[in-house]
């Protein structure tokens, strides 16, 4: 392959195909193959590389705290009372296609974030857009944007509307102001019946109402979340940090 052809392939961002062709040239088994067979192998290699790069990019953009969590490594210890059948079904991503949500509840350290991240990574593997964010950070970003006159507030909401799976960690860990509750309602309304959200909370939805402050806004938010959600309660006689140390919760 001459330099001009190589240059064109790089310009078309087909570097994986160039590398695959170079590998073929040094492989004696490939030399006896027909043109069609060699070309098919080149395309398969380049396609696999592109898919791998896309997955890596989606995981990076998701902003996970860690990429170690995996559905296959979940500990179904008896005292945790996890429904393996339900989690396996959720890992297939069917709830995202149906625009349902997931509420993961449990005490601090019981593995809520770990499980949510594992489900998020599975969604990335299905080439869906995922975003992990702590609720306090999201509220801070929205508050700053709301006070700007450049329209960033609406742009941020629009960006979150387009995310296939949003993971909201530390959900309602503290009481919200009226303005913060309004932000949440705006966000939930834009994503309603279009996308899916995983809520990681230390509290049952019955306890959310008082944390949202305004009764009418609280009713509206709960009505839009609870009825379309799968619930997972992570129990345990010990926290996962006690079992595996810091960062080992699963």
Residues facing residue 234 across a β-bridge: 106
Q: Is residue 67 part of a domain?
A: no
pLDDT at 250 over 70: no
Same domain, 115 and 229: yes
Span 98-110, pLDDT tens digits? 999 999 999 988 9
Residue 64 lies in a domain: no
15 and 122 part of one domain: no
Same domain, 55 and 97: no
The DSSP secondary structure of 149-173, one letter per residue, reads SSSHHHHHHHHHHT-SEEEEESTTS
| Residue bearing the bigger pLDDT, 217 or 151 | 217
Confidence bin at 39 (pLDDT 50/70/90): confident
The closest alpha carbon to 119, from 171, 83, 167, 191, belongs to: 167
**From 1-5, 38-42, 80-84, 125-129, the region with the lowest mean pLDDT:** 1-5
H/E stretch holding 195: none
User: Is residue 227 domain-resident?
Assistant: yes
Q: What range defines the domain where residue 20 resides?
A: 3-59
Query: Mean pLDDT in the chain?
Result: 91
Percent of the chain with pLDDT over 90: 66
**Is there a single domain that holds both residue 173 and residue 226?**
yes
Q: Give the predicted TM-score (pTM) of the model.
A: 0.86
> Residue 121: which CATH number?
3.40.50.300
Do 88 and 195 fall into the same domain? yes
């Amino acid at each position: 392959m001459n330099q001009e052809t190589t240059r064109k392939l790089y310009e078309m961002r087909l570097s994986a195909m160039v590398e695959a062709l170079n590998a073929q040239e040094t492989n004696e088994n490939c030399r006896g193959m027909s043109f069609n067979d060699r070309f098919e192998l080149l395309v398969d290699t380049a396609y696999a590389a592109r898919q791998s790069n896309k997955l890596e990019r989606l995981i990076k953009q998701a902003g996970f705290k860690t990429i170690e969590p995996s559905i296959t490594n979940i500990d179904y210890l008896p005292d945790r009372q996890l429904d393996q059948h339900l989690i396996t079904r959720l890992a297939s991503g069917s709830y995202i296609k149906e625009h349902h949500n997931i509420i993961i509840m449990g005490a601090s350290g019981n593995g809520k974030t770990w499980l949510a991240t594992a489900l998020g990574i599975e969604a990335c593997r299905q080439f869906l857009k995922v975003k992990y964010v702590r609720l306090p950070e999201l509220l801070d970003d929205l508050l700053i944007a709301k006070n700007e006159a450049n329209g960033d507030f609406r742009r941020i909401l629009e960006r979150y509307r387009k995310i296939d799976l949003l993971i909201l960690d530390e959900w309602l860990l503290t009481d919200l102001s009226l303005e913060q509750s309004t932000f949440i309602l705006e966000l939930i309304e834009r994503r309603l019946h279009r996308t899916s959200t995983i809520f990681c909370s230390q509290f049952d939805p019955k306890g959310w109402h008082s944390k949202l402050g305004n009764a009418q806004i609280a009713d509206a938010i709960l009505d839009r979340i609870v009825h379309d959600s799968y619930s997972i309660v992570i129990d345990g006689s010990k926290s996962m940090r006690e079992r595996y140390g810091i960062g080992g919760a699963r």
